[in-house]
Structure 1
Amino acid sequence: MKRSVSLGVLVDVLQLWIAMGIAAVMLWPIYRSDSFVVLAAIAIALGTLIALAGAAFRWPGWIVFLVTVAAFALVGVPLAVPGEAVAGLLPSVDGLVDLFSSVALGWKQLLTITLPVGDYQALLVPALVLLLGGTVVAGSIAFRSSRGELAVIPPVVVFLTGIVFGPSEAFWPIPLGLGMLVACLVWVASWRWRRRRAASRRFARATGTRERRGRGQLRTVLGALLIVAVAGAGAASAAIAAAPTGERDVLRNAVPQPFDPRDYASPLSSFRSYLREGEADRTMLTVEGLPEGALLRIATLDTYDGVVYSVGSATVDSASGTFVRLPSAIDRSSVSGRRVQLTISVDGYSGVWVPTVGLLEQIDFRGDDAASLEDGFAFNETSGTAADLAGLHAGDVYRLDAVIPQQPSSGDLIDAVPGSAVVPRIAEVPDDLTSALERYTTGVDGAGGQLVAAIDGMRAEGYISHGIGEDEPASRSGHSLDRIGELFSTPLMIGDAEQYAVAAALMADQLGFPARVVMGFVPQTTESGAVEVLGSDISAWIEVDTAQYGWVAINPVPETRPIPEEEPEDPTPVSRPESIVPPPADRPDPREDQTDPDTTAEDPVAPDQTLEVLLQALRIAGISLLAVAIALSPFLLVVAAKARRRYLRRTAPTALGRIRGGWDEFADLVLDHGLQVPIAATRTEVAAVVGTLPSRVLAAVVDRAVFAPGAPAEADADRVWLAVGELRGSLDAPRTRRERLRARISLRSLGGGVRQLLRRPGRRS
């Protein structure tokens, strides 16, 4: 049936926009760009027009679908793939290919890229599909279906999609959740009210009676709004009482990331390859804009298994092992430091690790391989390590913006306190390193002071040798436990940045500082001109997390100086067995072993596993019950409101009031059970709608009590309420359990008794 533009249609349009608008806000954390705002507004408006046209011209479903696809193709490229639009307004062939391919591929790409994505490539396509398609489907249901309540389903689907594909940090969970709940309840209630009103009109036309408007309809609307308000308030109270945590499990947490560092060898294991003949003097990179003293990071390594320091591990989950695509600039406005803009040209350097500086803000690849490098680029925000699946090769050029944070001086570091960053546990440390650490820190107070003393002590005793040249003393490569133990056990401490950085990280960890090793280049720079980074500029340093300054870079490598030929007194080294590396998972974190000052470690109390399991089960059960209670709260409130109304009617102060209340209760039961009764119907007409003898008898008894002279007896009121109970059973008897439940939670009878629900018992209405 063709529907004209009426108040009902306008109400549906308004409620459609409200519901889809709330759903679009849930997509905002994924994009956070002006392009998304424009897309959302146009998609919702265009979808509404298509749904209205389909209803007005009675298009079949397949025509609505074709028109939607045509509109999607027309506006999709300028809205969702703006980089491929001709003059910013018209679709191009390449843009259409990206548009329709992203309908299938864009969803997974959203899960493998860091958020927000802005208008990167064609990642706005999923948002356009959701908002345009959801609006068309919801509008078509609302404007054409006899069950318009189902129109709330598409906005809810879009809303839930925003949660599932969004970040793990919840975005306005309580306001948006309650907003969507209230919007859907109001929309459903409005449809129920309009259906009831249409039925009353049909009955009035069929019987020749006049439909009663005004106050009764207002009460119906107010009653529905009251229930919605009470339901929203109850849900809000429950949500605040059990406020959601800052993070949640979302789909991106379960999707394999595009780059896994565990598939590649640790860059530190090839440290000395940069120092071999032919590589040491070779230009690896040419950097423009590099400030003096800046460090070029190749990779940050935080996982040590006793054999190799790596970026992530096959057995240990590490935040630094999670790489995602970088679609847009990272906001570093809150970081204090020097802003730099570098242009890096790749010469002799190659590999998947992309050298960067400081805290990366944005990167832009240039040259012939720019497209493949852009698609393969991945970044780890935790460690600042960048990688590219395509790999860097000679001739590649990229430009990056970064912030080099201000670093504390050695004097400031003395007062540093270990930070709270989480790094994988270190399995074991050599005994010789522990002995040296005790010797360096004896008499030094404070973790920061001990760290400075340990680094200074190692730098003072250490000598540099790569063990490559014929004139260099022997120096074994590698950084296993055995090699680090050898560094401290031989008469002369000889090694290079590979060994000293690992040793420093192990000592910092022993002192309670979260620590990691950074491998990169330390070029000789000036304030102007391009800098040629040579292979001999390779180095390694450590970063420790402090409570005051965050991650602080520390150079543990001794100054290059002549190595004595004569060994010190007592040159005979002590023979020690080779260190055996235990499984890392069996080694507790040393920081967790520290005893609280107010407790003793003599009598540790083993946790009661049975109690822990019981508490966890109770916690899960409590959360589940709370979730069920929140979901059922609107229905429970309806049941409670009806119970309150029944109580007020049955406890009226006079027998006549209780008799009238009994009839009102029966009339409301008739409405809730789905029988169509006009608003102005008499008691006899209501009984005729029910069509049973007991209902006609009840109508006659109530009419006699109301219109007869004198007050009715108390026993008459009791008999009326007994009859109401029996009639309720007769109304329930032929209906299924589902229909009886629907009658209990129906809102049809609550419109006219708003004031009665709020008055005190015993008062006259």
Structure 2
Amino acid sequence: MSRGQRNSRGFSPASPLFIAVNVAMFWVSTGIAATALWPIYRSTAIVILVGSALGFGTIIAVIGAYFRWPSPVVMVATVAAFLLVGVPLAVPAKTQYGVLPTAGGLVDLVTGVALGWKQLLTITLPVADYQALLVPALVLILTTTVVGLSVALRSTRGEIAAAFPVLVFLVATAFGPKFPDRPLVTPIALLVAVLLWLVWLRWYRRRTAVNSLLAQSTDAASLDRSPDAGVAGLRTAVSAAVILAVASTAAIGAVALVPPAADRTVLRTAIVQPFDPRDYVSPLSAFRSYWQPATIDSTLFQVRGLPEGGRIRLATLDTYNGVVYSVGSSRVTSQSGSFTRVPSTFDQSAVDGTAQELEVTIRGYSGVWLPTTGLFEAVDFTSADAATLRDGFYYNNVSGTAAVVGGLVSGDSYTLSAITPRQPTESELATLDPGSASVPIPQDVPDQLTATLEGYTSGVSGAGNRLVAALAGLKADGYISHGIGVDEPASRSGHAADRISQLFTDSRMIGDAEQYAVSAALMAKDLGFPSRVVMGFLAKGEAVTGADVSAWIEINTAQFGWVTIDPNPLVRDIPEEIPEETSQIARPQTIVPPPVLEPDRFDRQLTPDTEQQRTPDVNLALQAVLAVLRVLGWVAIAAAVVLAPFLVIVAAKFRRRKLRRNASTPIQRISGGWQEFENAVVDHGLSPEVASTRTEFAMAAGGVQSAVLAAIADRAIFAPDAPSGTDADNVWRAVDELQASLDDGLTRWQRIKARISLRSLGGYSFKNFFSR
């Protein structure tokens, strides 16, 4: 009876019942596992993609199993299906009429196979159908469906197919968010589906084996199955379901009573983000540069849609180390220091505020920090280099700060949609309570600032009232001077600890927004309010100039979240400095001889250049070699991706052969040698009858040496005396010769197909691949 025929009392592994049940169980298991992809995309596009990929993968696997396609043909069919439906499913933005792929879409589809995985880890979730980020999901579902169902329908150990839905769940979890969306429901449901599938496969295989024995029995006609044989599998499945239901209910109840206390660790929590704000100089350090004659009246950028006096955020800084206020910190965890790529939109529906839409055109401004307002919802770059700007766009939703890797230049333009959160009135400031946001603790706070704060808040109770008193004291005592005009009093730039100390120790408190914003933020932090400094501009019209630069603070409150506060004093006349009183004492006149003049001594030795000042020599030959190596590296990576499945097959067969040849006893080595010969025959395209004896198998394979090997193996296994090690070595030498003879007369491609054939990979190899 051939493999495709029906037994008299059962079904063959290729029967419609076997195919239908395996396909149904694989679909259920993969569908449950694919729900772990939802937190990554949160779009109907992922639902359509999973269903379509399951459908196309099932068609390829079933047809391949029915016609017994070799693995290269299955692989070619899978790649063809991927290229045919990949663009409308995974890159829908680059299709014609919604279904026809474009050249650009095909390029994104192919490059997304290698690059999409990393892009998923460096972008804020969810991503919906942004760019080509659906490509990894398509590759995952389509590949696991084709391979998993092929194993289920064609391998003698179909249980291995149950590992592929589990693989889908693990990969989706690894690339998902750090917070579990459904921490227990999905894995338990997947466990139940997989175990029920395995129970059914075990029952079906046992039933088929029993029916096969009954059909081969001489008195099969007189035998009959026991009355309850037909419901044995049902009883097993029901029992397993009851046990799993009890265990699942207990596990879900335990998680409900004691939920996870921390986020999980996934790939995105460990990967180094491409944009690190600590690699750039703090924008607040360049505050005074905007007041220089070259930029004070120059148009930095034009903004349409912002009301007069509206605030434009350049960057939010929350880390003070006594020298500079910076974006994030390398020493402590700072949420404002973590920037990620974001999809085309960002959900701000939970924010209570006013929607705004700005049109910004860059003129004299340059830098990585993108001028924004409020909390980002969407950005659309409209200049010629829009694609480059979009790919380099990074955002931090905690601080509302955006950046573009590579920087902005004159002519860049974009449209920004944002939400400005509702703010408390001035009368409500006194009622505010500190919030729970986490910011780094300031370092090296000057004692003079603490002493001044105590003077401002002496006798005042309540956190909100003390904050209002501190701000009122700064505005009452402070004067504004940028120290650039000849008529302006001296005002040193910077906001290090010594400059802040000077602000509070001079006879007149003179500074500008750089010093007052830092001082107010440190005071608010001392009063218990999480605080940070915002560097930006106060627009007086559509054209924003250097004179519009400003800095203010944001404090976190329990009532309103982050609240914007301007701590800067009003511009007013600065009083003359009161000279210190000195007592003049009359002293007798003395004749002082003129000093002896000595010739000036000049050290004419030039200071050698430092290593940082020297311009490194450009080695053109080395650059060319590196470029070639870079290209070769990408080619090697692509080749490794393509060849990886075949290398795994070759490695599995090599491992199987090694285990057989190095078995512990001679009889096991002889039996393994015969099995190695059988596998080689099957891999070369021959199909002996199922359950044939060694002699029958040798006759089907042909050749006198095959028959001799079968006789030796039978004698060694069934003889009363144990064979010797020499007998085992002779068998393996014969096996090597027979395997070599199978390649005689074959082309190189036919020999390669035999090496990578999956026909013999099942049962023994997978069961013993990782054990001796």
1:139-154 matched pairs, under 5 angstroms = 139-154=149-164
Contact 2:122-2:340 within 8 A present in 1 as well:
yes
2:324 corresponds to: 308
1:170 aligns to 2:180 (yes or no):
yes
Contact 1:491-1:571 within 8 A present in 2 as well:
no
Q: Hey, what's the Cα distance between the residues in 2 that align with 1:387 and 1:403?
A: 18
1:445 aligns to 2:461 (yes or no):
yes
2:290 corresponds to: 274
Structure 1 residue 219, shift from structure 2 partner: 4.2
1:9 aligns to 2:19 (yes or no):
yes
Q: 214-223 or 271-280, which moves further after superposition?
A: 214-223
2:144 corresponds to: 134
Q: Hey, what's the Cα distance between the residues in 1 that align with 2:157 and 2:100?
A: 39
The alignment partner of 2:483 has SS state of coil
Structure 1 residue 301, shift from structure 2 partner: 0.2
Change (3 A) 1:466 1:220: same
Question: Which of 256, 272, 277 is the aligned partner of 2:272?
Answer: 256
Question: Which of 462, 484, 493 is the aligned partner of 2:500?
Answer: 484
Contact 2:14-2:153 within 8 A present in 1 as well:
no
Change (3 A) 1:327 1:226: same
1:529-608 matched pairs, under 5 angstroms = 531-567=542-578
2:49 corresponds to: 39
The alignment partner of 1:356 has SS state of coil
1:753 corresponds to: none
Q: Hey, what's the Cα distance between the residues in 2 that align with 1:422 and 1:314?
A: 15
Q: Hey, what's the Cα distance between the residues in 2 that align with 1:537 and 1:521?
A: 5
1:56 corresponds to: 66
Contact 1:164-1:251 within 8 A present in 2 as well:
yes
1:226 aligns to 2:239 (yes or no):
yes
1:431 corresponds to: 447
Contact 1:170-1:246 within 8 A present in 2 as well:
no
Paired AA for residue 211 in structure 2: R
Q: Hey, what's the Cα distance between the residues in 2 that align with 1:245 and 1:81?
A: 38
What is the RMSD of the two structures over their aligned residues, measured on CA atoms?
A: 1.9
2:517 corresponds to: 501
Q: Hey, what's the Cα distance between the residues in 1 that align with 2:371 and 2:51?
A: 41
Query: What are the superposed Cα offsets for residues 625-669 of structure 1, whole Å, 9 maximum, x if unpaired?
Result: xxxxxxxxxxxxxxxxxxxxxxxxxxxxxxxxxxxxxxxxxxxxx
1:157 corresponds to: 167
Q: 32-41 or 536-545, which moves further after superposition?
A: 32-41
Structure 1 residue 567, shift from structure 2 partner: 2.7
Paired AA for residue 554 in structure 2: E
Structure 1 residue 7, shift from structure 2 partner: 2.2
> What percent of counterpart residues are identical?
54
Query: What are the superposed Cα offsets for residues 345-395 of structure 1, whole Å, 9 maximum, x if unpaired?
Result: 101111000010001101111111111100101011111110001211110
Q: Hey, what's the Cα distance between the residues in 1 that align with 2:539 and 2:563?
A: 19
Query: What are the superposed Cα offsets for residues 179-225 of structure 1, whole Å, 9 maximum, x if unpaired?
Result: 11001000000000101111221122233144426634324422332
The alignment partner of 2:328 has SS state of coil
1:98 aligns to 2:108 (yes or no):
yes
Contact 1:286-1:344 within 8 A present in 2 as well:
yes
Higher relative contact order (CA 8 A, sep 6+): 1
The alignment partner of 2:100 has SS state of coil
Paired AA for residue 261 in structure 1: P
Structure 1 residue 91, shift from structure 2 partner: 2.1
Contact 2:554-2:564 within 8 A present in 1 as well:
yes
Give the structure-2-normalised TM-score: 0.72
Structure 1 residue 94, shift from structure 2 partner: 2.2
Q: Hey, what's the Cα distance between the residues in 2 that align with 1:442 and 1:570?
A: 31
2:250 corresponds to: 237
1:650 corresponds to: none
Q: Hey, what's the Cα distance between the residues in 1 that align with 2:515 and 2:226?
A: 89
Number of matched pairs: 569
Contact 1:303-1:309 within 8 A present in 2 as well:
yes
Q: Hey, what's the Cα distance between the residues in 1 that align with 2:95 and 2:582?
A: 76
Question: Which of 194, 197, 200 is the aligned partner of 1:187?
Answer: 197
The alignment partner of 2:301 has SS state of strand
Q: Hey, what's the Cα distance between the residues in 2 that align with 1:193 and 1:567?
A: 100
Q: Hey, what's the Cα distance between the residues in 1 that align with 2:253 and 2:40?
A: 25
Structure 1 residue 70, shift from structure 2 partner: 0.3
Q: 157-166 or 88-97, which moves further after superposition?
A: 88-97
1:684-699 matched pairs, under 5 angstroms = none
1:673-752 matched pairs, under 5 angstroms = none
Q: Hey, what's the Cα distance between the residues in 2 that align with 1:505 and 1:222?
A: 70
Contact 1:112-1:258 within 8 A present in 2 as well:
yes
Q: Hey, what's the Cα distance between the residues in 2 that align with 1:294 and 1:24?
A: 45
Contact 1:296-1:521 within 8 A present in 2 as well:
yes
Question: Which of 314, 319, 326 is the aligned partner of 1:298?
Answer: 314
Structure 1 residue 232, shift from structure 2 partner: 4.2
Change (3 A) 1:412 1:62: same
Structure 1 residue 162, shift from structure 2 partner: 0.6
Contact 1:463-1:495 within 8 A present in 2 as well:
yes
Question: Which of 466, 469, 474 is the aligned partner of 2:482?
Answer: 466
Query: What are the superposed Cα offsets for residues 113-157 of structure 1, whole Å, 9 maximum, x if unpaired?
Result: 111111111111100000011111111112222211111111111
1:212 corresponds to: 225
1:199 aligns to 2:209 (yes or no):
yes
Structure 1 residue 268, shift from structure 2 partner: 0.2
Structure 1 residue 307, shift from structure 2 partner: 0.2
Change (3 A) 1:203 1:298: same
1:89 aligns to 2:99 (yes or no):
yes
Change (3 A) 1:201 1:533: same
Give the structure-1-normalised TM-score: 0.72
Q: Hey, what's the Cα distance between the residues in 2 that align with 1:15 and 1:246?
A: 34
Q: 327-336 or 458-467, which moves further after superposition?
A: 327-336
Structure 1 residue 316, shift from structure 2 partner: 3.0
2:423 corresponds to: 407
Q: Hey, what's the Cα distance between the residues in 1 that align with 2:85 and 2:427?
A: 61
The alignment partner of 1:166 has SS state of coil
Contact 1:178-1:232 within 8 A present in 2 as well:
no
Q: Hey, what's the Cα distance between the residues in 2 that align with 1:42 and 1:213?
A: 44
Structure 1 residue 524, shift from structure 2 partner: 1.6
The alignment partner of 2:431 has SS state of coil
The alignment partner of 1:70 has SS state of helix
Q: 119-128 or 89-98, which moves further after superposition?
A: 89-98
1:414-425 matched pairs, under 5 angstroms = 414-425=430-441
Q: Hey, what's the Cα distance between the residues in 2 that align with 1:463 and 1:341?
A: 35
1:119 aligns to 2:132 (yes or no):
no
Paired AA for residue 399 in structure 1: T
Contact 2:430-2:465 within 8 A present in 1 as well:
yes
Paired AA for residue 224 in structure 1: A
Q: 282-291 or 553-562, which moves further after superposition?
A: 282-291
Structure 1 residue 37, shift from structure 2 partner: 1.4
1:392 aligns to 2:408 (yes or no):
yes
Contact 1:260-1:323 within 8 A present in 2 as well:
yes
Structure 1 residue 308, shift from structure 2 partner: 0.2
Change (3 A) 1:307 1:92: same
1:334 corresponds to: 350
Q: Hey, what's the Cα distance between the residues in 2 that align with 1:571 and 1:539?
A: 40
1:592 corresponds to: none
Contact 2:552-2:568 within 8 A present in 1 as well:
yes
